[in-house]
């Protein structure tokens, strides 16, 4: 009886560790340093936004100007997405989400770069 309890406890601890490790990987969301508050994007074009997340995670990118794009990170966690930009204006907000973490870039201006 005690032997079964020890086996159950070991299995429970291993399960908790595995679940924790998996959540940690998928909760990782990093943008490249060029994407920051106050940035200027080219108007009326398809801009590329990229970063790193956990492997095989869906990434949602949405501009407050009404455009959004969805992609999936590769097996190494790298991802890239294209997003349409409007005519010159702003300031706008850009949201990047991987289902666990949302990163926001504020004061985004659209114009001639």
Residue 84 sits at the vertex; the CA angle it makes with 104 and 39, to the nearest 5 degrees, is: 45
| Cα radius of gyration rounded to whole Å, the chain | 20
Over range 102-107, report the average pLDDT: 97
Report the candidate in 100, 105, 99 with the shortest Cα–Cα distance to residue 31. Answer: 105
∠ Cα 7 10 11 (to 5°): 85
Distance CA 53, CA 69 (A): 16
Task: Please name the residues in contact with 44: beta carbons below 8 A apart, sequence gap of 6 or more.
Answer: 85, 86, 87
Q: Which residue has tokens 């702003």? A: 90
pLDDT at 24: 47
Q: What is the pLDDT of residues 4-60, one digit of tens each?
A: 677 666 666 765 665 555 544 556 899 999 999 999 999 999 999 999 999 999 999
Residues 52-74: tens digit of each pLDDT: 999 999 999 999 999 999 999 99
Q: Which residues contact 87 (CB under 8 A, 6 or more apart)?
A: 43, 44, 110
Indicate the pTM of the whole model. 0.75
Q: Which domains does the chain have, with CATH numbers?
A: 2-111 (2.60.40.10)
């Amino acid at each position: 009886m005690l032997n079964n309890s020890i086996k159950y406890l070991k299995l429970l601890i291993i399960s908790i560790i595995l679940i924790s490790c998996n959540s940690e990987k998928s909760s990782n969301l990093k943008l490249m340093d060029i994407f920051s508050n106050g940035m200027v994007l080219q108007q009326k074009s398809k801009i590329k936004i990229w970063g790193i997340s956990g492997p095989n995670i869906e990434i949602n990118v949405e501009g407050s100007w009404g455009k959004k794009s969805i992609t999936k990170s590769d097996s190494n966690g790298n991802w890239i997405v294209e997003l349409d930009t409007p005519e010159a204006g702003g300031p706008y907000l850009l949201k990047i989400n991987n289902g666990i973490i949302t990163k926001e870039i504020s004061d985004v201006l659209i114009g001639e770069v």
